[in-house]
């Protein structure tokens, strides 16, 4: 008897051990998307550049050297110098810190408030849902960049205010997505079972519903990072974001537009940095969406 039951039990154990974990399955699906992996490598590259900026920058990005202004790219200055003699490569490297900081902070603001509003709206419904969604509809009625312009104009031009403005116009997107996911999850049987056991609403929302709707939040955050970085660069280009002498990519583009014919590299290199980072987040976000979607069987 013992021998007869030992073999099936051992077979089941070996099968369970051979079954890959959720994270491994997710990574294997993501790895098959070559474009998404390339986007991930671009993101990792820029994050490393931001972390190692003091070690990678060959010159002080704030050091003015007027005798060497508007020098073409050379062995000493790989990306040339600007109209004040500052090394463009060093400013692009340090600008990576600012652009990533703006993107992550703005998306965190939008996700934090958007997730809370979406959870409350989807779970409670009725008048709570009506009030929250009407506020969200008002925010969605304004194009994102125009809403950000209005907020920055009211608060004043600064990098911090840009983070707040971009974060505010990101709230409706997260709120809509989280509300829809919450409406679907709260109808499941296990939620009714937990409620019947006496669990509080806050416990049900944040312990049992929220972990099960993380996938669309992560995907939206990765895609929203690209929009946040691009929007922040646009506001800085208009003079409403980073103020001189901060080496922010949008501000560098704004400064370089006055020298498009005499020193085109001043606008070209920050533009390449913005385009490549935004493209990296976009393609990586698309890959995350496909890898986290259970309907996408590969």
What CATH number does the domain containing 91 carry? Answer: 1.10.3720.10
C-alpha distances out from residue 36 to 86, 91, 240, Å: 35, 28, 33
| Any domain includes 63 | no
- Per DSSP (E only), the strands in the chain are none
Q: What is the DSSP-derived secondary structure letter of residue 76?
A: S
Residue 17: per-residue pLDDT: 47
| Any domain includes 17 | no
| Any domain includes 135 | yes
| Any domain includes 120 | yes
pLDDT-above-90 percentage for the chain:
32
Residue 10: per-residue pLDDT: 53
**pLDDT tens digits, residue range 6-21?**
445 454 444 444 455 6
Residue 95: per-residue pLDDT: 92
| Any domain includes 62 | no
CA atoms of 208 and 181, how far apart (whole Å): 13
**Average pLDDT over every residue of 106-110:** 94
C-alpha distances out from residue 217 to 52, 171, 226, 243, Å: 29, 12, 15, 32
Residue 15: per-residue pLDDT: 45
Residue 294: per-residue pLDDT: 55
**Number of compact structural domains in the chain:** 1
Q: What is the pTM of this model?
A: 0.85
Instruction: Tell me the residue range of the domain where 198 lies.
Output: 22-57+74-292
**Average pLDDT over every residue of 120-145:** 87
């Amino acid at each position: 008897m013992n021998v007869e039951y030992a073999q099936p039990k051992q077979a089941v154990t070996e099968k369970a051990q051979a079954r890959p974990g959720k994270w491994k399955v997710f990574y294997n699906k993501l790895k098959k998307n070559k474009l998404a992996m390339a986007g991930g490598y671009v993101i990792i590259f820029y994050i490393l550049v931001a972390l190692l900026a003091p070690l990678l920058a060959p010159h002080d990005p704030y050091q003015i050297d007027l005798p060497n202004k508007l020098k073409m790219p050379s062995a000493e200055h790989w990306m040339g110098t600007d109209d004040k003699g500052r090394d463009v490569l060093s400013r692009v490297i340090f600008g990576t810190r600012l652009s990533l900081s703006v993107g992550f902070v703005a998306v965190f603001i939008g996700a934090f408030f958007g997730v809370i509003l979406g959870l409350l709206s989807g779970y409670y419904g009725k008048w709570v849902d009506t009030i929250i969604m009407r506020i969200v509809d008002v925010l969605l009625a304004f194009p994102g960049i125009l809403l950000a312009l209005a907020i920055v104009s009211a608060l004043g031009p600064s990098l911090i205010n840009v983070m707040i403005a971009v974060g505010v116009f990101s709230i409706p997107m997260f709120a809509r997505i989280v509300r829809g996911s919450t409406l679907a999850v709260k109808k499941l049987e296990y939620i009714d079972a937990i409620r019947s056991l006496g669990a509080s609403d806050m416990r049900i929302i944040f312990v049992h519903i929220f972990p099960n709707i993380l996938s669309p939040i992560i995907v939206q955050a990765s895609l929203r990072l690209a929009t946040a970085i691009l929007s922040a660069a646009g506001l800085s280009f208009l003079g409403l974001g980073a103020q001189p002498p901060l080496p922010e990519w949008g501000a560098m583009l704004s400064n370089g537009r006055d020298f498009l014919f005499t020193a085109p590299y001043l606008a070209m290199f920050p533009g390449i940095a913005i385009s490549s980072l935004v493209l990296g987040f976009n393609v990586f976000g698309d890959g995350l969406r496909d890898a986290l979607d259970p309907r996408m069987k590969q």
